[in-house]
């Protein structure tokens, strides 16, 4: 821009878009970032397009073709009921992602609200929330999950409930910690001094500055949720037949591991790729966010 | 007589990711035993780097050229073990922030006794006695009770006194005070200044006071060295430099001090421009771009040190007769 | 009258519920113990004091950022007290605030253009071309337009300070509160900020409430001075008069320290705030304290029409009652 003439200029791109682009660039800078982002991207694409690109109906039974190994017509083979494993894996990706989104989304919404309340609200309420959160965090996850499924019956809804219940404390703690820290920041005081309403302070000043740590937490939690869902499905408490998820495919494969080991692979491989991919992705994300918060460019004197 | 500290043509360059950063350029200075030297400069002047060099506390990525001799021994020729032994047993330092220089988890007394570790001949009881005596000498009342306190129980002024006591307990030959009063209130600062003045008698060596505050220097120092952009631009007896500054930067800096401006003014003098980037190589005088007296030669040739009648040196082309 | 403060008391709660079980006096820390001042249009009032004097709390209290227990703040006629948000919104619209650490007071996620025009958005000013206003404000403080798209981490200390001045001026305030505007700046560029503030005052006519511990700066820039000690204003008056002949022993000691006056070295440290000392807060360190100072809090005495002091034995004879 030259000078201060108020002639109409091209408006600069919105701030959040610039930041997102910068973040993407930082994450994709390293090899790990590229590879993990690729696998994450693949998962997401599959999740969205499963219904369209799956070659077969994932729950269609074809007893004639049962327990076939990988072939041209069935790249991952078929399971004990003749269902195409590739299609089941695609559909499973969608299901898992649904659980992830519902679970983490729910945990985030509840935990964030609780965190803001604890950060701003009366001390007594904050202490009570902390107490509840600590109790939930101390419960052993699998036992808690199994207890829940015993009480509420199996099924993916129960899994989502378990995930939310299990993960809320972490989001609560991060949100609360960030709220307390940022509450005392000078720029929050500056906003108040300018007359900003509490709502504006939360939406324009607190949430954007909390986004970083929360984003990293989300990315790191995805493998955990995949693990919970797969584990519960493997134990028969999660996805109920015929709903395919990687865990239930694994369960099916386990029974036929001698005759048809490819089923176990079909179930296990996606879990491995997804878990490792998301873990590395979250680390790349965390690294990309950290120095940016401090400011990489040296300050001119 | 051998000077206590002999710095000859010292240059220190940091290897940063974006290229070499020349923090100090050809600094030459001597400090005699028993004198108090003020090292004055603003941000980017290199005064902190020079103070760190005197303590042999430079980071690993610092490349050193030139010589720094402490009591005749080249500091940078010593191995790391010898240098470590030097600190706390020859060179002691007081820093700007009294709040973080003390271990918050240990009582004062324990730390003061620990600081005397180099005195191998005496036992714990004797060290404790010396610590209490020193606390008294720096003006802390009820020193025995203080010995049992934790740092967080003390106010800023008391903490700084404790640190001075700690430094003096090591019986240093060189005491470096890096902005010792910047973090303190005006009234506390007065007390600490009085204490530093009295400490001269307790330091059998020299004191180097690193500061940006010219008035502090006028109060406490025999000689002053003015630094700008990593170079020593003027040095001499305090009375001389402060009343008859010869380098344009020193003149401009003194003119900016609101305390030196007589009647109330509404417009303050400033030095327009910025300190040159230490990463960029330069040919002429560091101050040329901002100097009101600069001429052509100032931009192309580094100025020589010119000695004046009052015993001070200034690095400026305009002073060459 | 742009700013009037009457008997302002600010208390902070201390400790948790355990503190509530202790005696009532220890449940609160009284940081401001009854402060009053006046500031006229176009003038600069310097509030000087050391750490713990309450000067920053006073600044924040003017915009309702401190827990006011008693007393009144009146800005441009609008009166506010306690916590209710209504009158404060009006006041905050009229007051520009410059924080001590300019970088920390800028939201790191917002660019300069957004930052300096945020007041417009908060107060829903209609028909504003945000970017054009931002450019105008930057021009006012001497920053070129290329700074519009920079983020706080890309600014130097001096540049951040200018941005905070620009933001404070957005809504053309009647009063600007500057908390330590020269803190952390090199001596050779301190003048830049001060000159800028002076020029802007000449051009736009606002009043300044200048909070500083730097007595030499206050001397040059402030029309009137208020000296604070432990939550009270112990002396207030025209700058020249106070500097030449301080009436309060603390002022004299403070000026001796850094103001170029005679040297009086004060012993000891400021006393603890909880509980507050009886009598005059300064008596323990006062070189001229008498027994009365320990038990009886001093009343305000008038030295000259605008020169007041809080002391039993002021260094200058107060005017006889009736000639104030």
Q: Which of residues 28-57 of C touch A (CB under 8 A)?
A: none
Place of tokens 């600094």: B27
Q: Give the pLDDT band (50/70/90) at residue C41.
A: very high
Identify from C142, C183, C188 which residue to disrupt to test chain B contact, counting B C-beta atoms within 10 A and taking the largest count.
C188
| Strand C95-98, strand C175-179: pairing | parallel
Q: Which of residues 1-30 of B touch A (CB under 8 A)?
A: 18
**Long-range contacts, B61-64 (Cβ 8 Å, 24+):** B61/B14, B61/B15, B61/B16, B62/B12, B62/B13, B62/B14, B62/B15, B62/B23, B63/B12, B63/B13, B63/B14, B63/B15, B63/B20, B64/B10, B64/B11, B64/B12
Q: Give how far B258 is from chain C: nearest CA, Å.
A: 6
Which chain A residues are within 8 Å of C139, Cβ to Cβ? 4
Q: Which of residues 179-198 of A touch C (CB under 8 A)?
A: 185-187, 189-197
Contact B275 A301 (CB under 8 A): yes
Summarize pLDDT for C243-255 with one digit per residue, the tens: 888 999 999 888 8
- In the 8-state DSSP scheme, what is residue A203? I
Which chain A residues are within 8 Å of C104, Cβ to Cβ? 185-187
Structure tokens at B232: 């020593």
Give yes or no for a contact between B142 and B196, defined as CB atoms under 8 angstroms apart.
no
Identify from C186, C219, C225, C262 which residue to disrupt to test chain B contact, counting B C-beta atoms within 10 A and taking the largest count.
C186
C16 CB near a chain A CB, below 8 Å?
yes
Which chain C residues are within 8 Å of B259, Cβ to Cβ? 216, 258-260
The residues that bridge with C305 in the sheet, in sequence order, are: none
C195 CB near a chain B CB, below 8 Å?
yes
Place of tokens 């450019």: C135
Q: Which chains touch B (3 or more CB pairs under 8 A)?
A: A, C
Residues composing chain C: 324
Residue B175: in which H helix or E strand, if any? strand B174-178
**How many Cα atoms are found within 13 Å in the side-chain-facing hemisphere of C9?**
10
What is the Cα–Cα distance from A299 to B5, expressed in whole angstroms? 34
Q: What is the count of residue pairs from A and C with beta carbons less than 8 Å apart? A: 98
Q: Give the pLDDT band (50/70/90) at residue C17.
A: low
Structure tokens at A155: 């099924």
Residue B74: in which H helix or E strand, if any? strand B73-74
- In the 8-state DSSP scheme, what is residue B87? B
Which chain B residues are within 8 Å of A298, Cβ to Cβ? 18
Residue B45: which of B294, B208, B232, B261 has the closest Cα? B232
What is the Cα–Cα distance from B54 to B76, expressed in whole angstroms? 10
Average pLDDT for B80-88: 72
Which SS3 state, helix, strand or coil, does residue C67 take? coil
Residue B65: in which H helix or E strand, if any? strand B62-70
Report whether pLDDT(C16) > 70: no
Q: Which residue of C has its CA nearest to A208?
A: C109
Q: Give how far C194 is from chain A: nearest CA, Å.
A: 19
What is the Cα–Cα distance from A171 to A115, expressed in whole angstroms? 8
User: Mean pLDDT over all residues of chain A?
Assistant: 82
B259 CB near a chain C CB, below 8 Å?
yes
Q: Which domains does chain C have, with CATH numbers?
A: 3-310 (3.40.50.300)
Q: Which residue of A has its CA nearest to B42?
A: A301
Give the least confident one: B303-307, C69-73, C83-87. C83-87
Q: Give how far C140 is from chain A: nearest CA, Å.
A: 11
Report whether pLDDT(C156) > 70: yes
Name the CA radius of gyration of chain B, rounded: 21
Place of tokens 């993916």: A156
Name the CA radius of gyration of chain A, rounded: 23
Contact B44 A298 (CB under 8 A): no
pTM here is 0.82
Q: Give the pLDDT band (50/70/90) at residue B247.
A: very high
Name the H helices within chain C.
17-21, 55-62, 85-94, 112-116, 118-122, 130-140, 157-168, 187-204, 215-221, 239-244, 249-254, 291-295
Q: What angle do CA B115, B116, B119 make, to 5 degrees?
A: 150
Which chain B residues are within 8 Å of C221, Cβ to Cβ? 266
Report whether pLDDT(A7) > 70: no
Which backbone phi and psi does B115 adopt, to 5 degrees?
-65, -15
- Write the DSSP assignment of A231-290 as a string of letters: HHHHTTSSSPTT---HHHHHHHHHHTTTT-HHHHHHHHHHHHHHHHHHHHHHHHHHHHHH
Complex prediction ipTM: 0.85
* Positive or negative torsion for Cα A191, A195, A198, A200: negative
What is the Cα–Cα distance from C100 to C161, expressed in whole angstroms? 9
Average pLDDT for B21-33: 89
Q: What angle do CA B145, B149, B154 make, to 5 degrees?
A: 105
What is the Cα–Cα distance from B181 to B201, expressed in whole angstroms? 20
Q: Give how far A13 is from chain B: nearest CA, Å.
A: 29
Q: Which residue of B has its CA nearest to C202?
A: B266
Contact B275 A300 (CB under 8 A): no
- pLDDT, residue B141, reads 82
Structure tokens at A223: 């493998």
The answer for C189, left when phi > 0, alpha when psi is -120 to 50, beta otherwise, is alpha
Q: What angle do CA C36, C316, C245 make, to 5 degrees?
A: 85
A298 CB near a chain B CB, below 8 Å?
yes
Report whether pLDDT(A61) > 70: yes
Q: Give the pLDDT band (50/70/90) at residue C46.
A: very high
Q: Which residue of C has its CA nearest to A123?
A: C16
Residue A79: which of A94, A69, A71 has the closest Cα? A69
Q: What angle do CA B289, B294, B295 make, to 5 degrees?
A: 115
The residues that bridge with B236 in the sheet, in sequence order, are: B224
Summarize pLDDT for A121-168 with one digit per residue, the tens: 888 888 899 999 999 888 888 888 888 888 888 788 888 988 898 899
Report whether pLDDT(A268) > 50: yes
Summarize pLDDT for A163-197 with one digit per residue, the tens: 898 899 999 999 999 999 888 889 999 999 998 88
Tell me how crowded residue C227 is: count the other CB atoms within 10 A of its CB.
Answer: 28
Contact A301 B18 (CB under 8 A): no
**What CATH number should be reported for the domain whose range is A30-220+228-260?**
1.10.3720.10
A22 CB near a chain C CB, below 8 Å?
no
The answer for B273, left when phi > 0, alpha when psi is -120 to 50, beta otherwise, is left
Q: Which of residues 215-274 of B touch A (CB under 8 A)?
A: 274
Report which listed range, B110-119, B122-131, B260-269, is most confident: B122-131
What is the Cα–Cα distance from C239 to C258, expressed in whole angstroms? 15
Contact B42 C188 (CB under 8 A): yes
Q: Give how far B276 is from chain A: nearest CA, Å.
A: 9
Tell me how crowded residue B311 is: count the other CB atoms within 10 A of its CB.
Answer: 12
- In the 8-state DSSP scheme, what is residue A206? I
What is the Cα–Cα distance from C233 to C298, expressed in whole angstroms? 12
Which backbone phi and psi does B176 adopt, to 5 degrees?
-110, 120
The answer for C82, left when phi > 0, alpha when psi is -120 to 50, beta otherwise, is left
Nearest-CB residue to A123 (from C16, C119, C153): C16
Q: Which domains does chain B have, with CATH numbers?
A: 5-72+83-90+170-319 (3.40.50.300)
What is the Cα–Cα distance from A65 to A7, expressed in whole angstroms? 72
A300 CB near a chain B CB, below 8 Å?
yes
Q: Give how far B91 is from chain C: nearest CA, Å.
A: 29
- pLDDT, residue C15, reads 62
Q: Which of residues 218-247 of C touch A (CB under 8 A)?
A: none
Place of tokens 């995930």: A163
The residues that bridge with C226 in the sheet, in sequence order, are: C47, C236
Report whether pLDDT(A6) > 50: no
Q: Give the pLDDT band (50/70/90) at residue C84.
A: low
Residue A239: which of A166, A175, A153, A167 has the closest Cα? A153
Average pLDDT for B67-92: 77
Task: Mention every residue, 6+ apart, whose C-beta is less than 8 A from residue B309.
Answer: none
């Amino acid at each position: 821009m030259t000078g201060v003439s108020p002639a109409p200029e091209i408006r600069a791109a919105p701030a959040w878009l610039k930041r997102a682009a910068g973040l993407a660039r930082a994450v994709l800078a390293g090899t790990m970032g590229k590879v993990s982002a690729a696998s994450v991207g693949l998962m997401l694409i599959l999740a969205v397009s499963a219904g369209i690109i799956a070659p077969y109906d994932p729950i269609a039974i074809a007893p004639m073709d049962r327990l076939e190994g990988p072939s041209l017509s069935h790249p991952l083979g078929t399971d004990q009921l003749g269902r195409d494993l590739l299609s089941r894996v695609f559909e499973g990706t969608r299901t898992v992602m649904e659980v992830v989104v519902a679970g983490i989304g729910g945990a985030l919404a509840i935990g964030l609200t609780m965190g803001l309340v604890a950060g701003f609200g009366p001390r007594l309420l904050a202490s009570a929330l902390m107490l509840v959160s600590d109790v939930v965090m101390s419960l052993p996850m699998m036992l808690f999950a199994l207890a829940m499924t015993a009480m509420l019956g199996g099924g993916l809804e129960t899994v989502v409930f378990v995930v939310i219940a299990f993960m809320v404390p972490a989001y609560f703690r991060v949100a609360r910690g960030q709220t307390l820290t940022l509450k005392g920041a000078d720029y929050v005081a500056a906003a108040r001094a300018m007359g900003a309403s509490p709502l504006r302070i939360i939406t324009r000043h607190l949430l954007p500055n909390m986004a970083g740590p929360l984003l990293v937490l989300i990315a790191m939690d995805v493998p955990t949720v995949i693990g919970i869902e797969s584990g519960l499905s493997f134990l028969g408490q999660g996805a109920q037949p015929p709903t395919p998820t990687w865990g239930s495919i694994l369960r099916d494969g386990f029974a036929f591991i001698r005759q048809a080991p490819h089923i176990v692979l079909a179930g296990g491989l996606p879990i491995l790729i997804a878990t490792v991919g998301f873990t590395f992705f979250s680390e790349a994300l965390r690294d990309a966010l950290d120095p940016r918060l401090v400011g990489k460019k040296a300050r001119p004197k | 007589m051998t000077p206590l500290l002999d710095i000859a043509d010292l240059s220190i360059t940091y290897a940063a990711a974006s290229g070499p950063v020349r923090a100090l350029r050809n600094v030459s200075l001597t400090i005699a035993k028993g004198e108090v030297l003020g090292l004055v400069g603003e941000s980017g002047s290199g005064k902190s780097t020079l103070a760190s060099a005197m303590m042999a506390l430079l980071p690993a990525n610092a490349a050193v050229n030139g010589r720094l001799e402490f009591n005749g021994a080249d500091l940078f020729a010593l191995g790391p073990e010898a240098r470590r032994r030097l600190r706390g047993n020859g060179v002691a330092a007081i820093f700007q922030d009294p709040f973080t220089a003390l271990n918050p988890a240990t009582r004062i007394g324990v730390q003061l006794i620990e600081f005397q570790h180099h005195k191998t001949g005496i036992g714990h009881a004797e060290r404790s006695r010396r610590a209490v005596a020193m606390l008294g000498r720096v003006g802390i009342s009820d020193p025995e009770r203080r010995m049992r306190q934790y740092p967080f129980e003390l106010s800023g002024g008391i903490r700084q006194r404790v640190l001075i006591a700690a430094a003096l307990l090591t019986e240093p030959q060189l005491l470096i005070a890096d902005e010792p009063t910047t973090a303190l209130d005006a009234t506390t600062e007065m007390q600490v200044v009085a204490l530093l003045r009295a400490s001269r008698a307790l330091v059998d060596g020299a004191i180097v006071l690193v500061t940006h505050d010219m008035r502090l220097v006028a109060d406490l120092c025999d000689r002053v060295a003015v630094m700008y952009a990593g170079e020593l631009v003027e040095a001499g007896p305090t009375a001389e430099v402060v009343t008859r500054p010869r380098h344009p930067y020193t003149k401009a800096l003194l003119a900016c001090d609101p305390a030196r401006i007589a009647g109330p003014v509404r417009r303050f003098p400033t030095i327009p421009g910025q300190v040159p980037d230490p990463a960029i190589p330069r040919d002429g005088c560091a101050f040329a771009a901002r100097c009101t007296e600069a001429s052509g030669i100032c931009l192309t040739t580094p100025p020589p040190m010119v000695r004046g009648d009052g015993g001070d040196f200034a690095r400026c082309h305009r002073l060459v007769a | 009258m742009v700013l009037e403060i009457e008997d302002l008391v600010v208390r902070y709660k201390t400790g948790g519920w355990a503190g509530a079980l202790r005696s009532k006096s220890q449940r609160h820390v009284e940081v401001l113990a009854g402060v009053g001042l006046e500031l006229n249009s176009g003038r600069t009032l310097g509030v000087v004091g050391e750490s713990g004097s309450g000067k920053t709390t006073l600044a924040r209290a003017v915009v309702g950022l401190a827990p006011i227990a008693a007393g009144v703040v009146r800005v441009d006629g609008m009166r506010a007290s306690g916590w209710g948000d209504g009158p404060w919104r009006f006041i905050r619209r009229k007051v520009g605030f410059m924080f001590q650490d300019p970088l920390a007071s800028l939201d790191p996620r917002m660019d300069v253009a957004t930052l300096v025009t945020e007041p417009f958005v908060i107060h829903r000013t209609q028909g504003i071309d945000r970017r054009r206003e931002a450019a105008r404000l930057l021009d006012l403080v001497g920053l070129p337009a290329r700074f519009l798209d920079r983020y706080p981490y890309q600014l130097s200390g001096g540049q951040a300070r200018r941005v905070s001045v620009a933001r404070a001026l957005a809504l053309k305030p009647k009063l600007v509160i500057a908390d330590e505007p020269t803190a952390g700046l090199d001596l050779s560029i301190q003048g830049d900020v001060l000159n800028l503030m002076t020029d802007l005052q000449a051009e736009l006519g606002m009043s300044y409430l200048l909070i500083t511990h730097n007595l030499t700066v206050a001397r040059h820039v402030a029309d009137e001075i208020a000296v604070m000690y432990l939550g009270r204003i112990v002396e207030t008056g025209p700058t020249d008069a106070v500097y030449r002949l301080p009436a309060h022993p603390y002022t004299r000691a403070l000026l001796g320290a850094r103001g170029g006056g005679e040297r009086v070295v004060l012993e000891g440290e400021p006393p603890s705030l909880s509980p507050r000392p009886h009598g005059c807060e300064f008596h323990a360190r006062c070189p001229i304290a008498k027994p009365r100072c320990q038990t009886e809090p001093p009343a305000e005495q008038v030295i000259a029409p605008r020169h007041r002091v809080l002391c039993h034995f002021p260094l200058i004879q107060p005017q006889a009652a009736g000639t104030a």
